[in-house]
């Protein structure tokens, strides 16, 4: 039902010459003539994560990495990420940006791979896989700089606000050493 509503809205906007940004990986629900519309843009930027699960070695990341983090959630990290990325682009640098925000695809940023929040893998495995994901982005995009936003806070703030004890920041910093 929801798929039909989405497609109907796209067709209505197509008829009024508006741009359409589609942020889901489920492109199959969209009729071909809508996908071929010149103002139709698929903004879902999840890089197909190809990992050799048996390779447990960290890959060397040669591209400089800027990490955007905060002591807690809701500290305008995405705003800082956006301004930093645009400032570097204005200076002539190419940037690959990784953000956990669902709307980051609208800006052609990369999503976090789903394996990062998958509890079926150990933190050790997720760290290795995140390292491989960043290496894949480095090899695919060949950016001058990689900018990564860390979700949540970087460490426990108090007894009640623990920010998952800095799990994501620990994993990221170990993945990019």
pLDDT on residue 62: 95
Q: How many CB atoms lie within 10 A of CB 90?
A: 8
pLDDT on residue 2: 53
What confidence tens digit (pLDDT) does each residue in 54-100 have?
A: 678 899 999 999 999 887 677 788 889 999 999 999 999 999 999 88
pLDDT on residue 42: 57
pLDDT on residue 93: 96
R_g of the chain computed on alpha carbons: 18
Mean pLDDT by 10 residues, the chain (177 residues): 64 68 60 62 54 76 92 80 94 93 77 77 86 91 94 77 75 85
CB 49 within 8 A of CB 113: yes
């Amino acid at each position: 039902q929801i798929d039909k509503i989405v497609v109907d809205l796209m067709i209505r906007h197509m008829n009024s010459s508006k741009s359409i940004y589609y942020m889901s990986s489920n492109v199959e629900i969209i009729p071909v003539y809508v996908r071929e519309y010149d103002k139709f843009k698929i903004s879902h930027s999840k890089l197909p994560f190809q990992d050799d699960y048996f390779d447990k070695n960290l890959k060397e990341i040669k591209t400089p990495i800027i990490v955007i983090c905060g002591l807690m959630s809701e500290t305008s990290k995405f705003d800082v990420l956006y301004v930093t990325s645009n400032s570097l682009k204005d200076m002539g640098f190419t940037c690959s940006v990784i953000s956990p925000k669902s709307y980051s695809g609208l800006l052609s940023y990369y999503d976090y791979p789903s394996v990062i929040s998958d509890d079926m893998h150990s933190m050790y495995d997720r760290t290795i896989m995140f390292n491989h994901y960043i290496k894949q982005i480095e090899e695919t995009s060949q950016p001058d700089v990689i900018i990564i936003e860390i979700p949540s806070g970087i460490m426990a703030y108090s007894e009640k606000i623990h920010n998952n004890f800095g799990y994501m920041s620990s994993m990221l910093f170990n993945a990019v050493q």
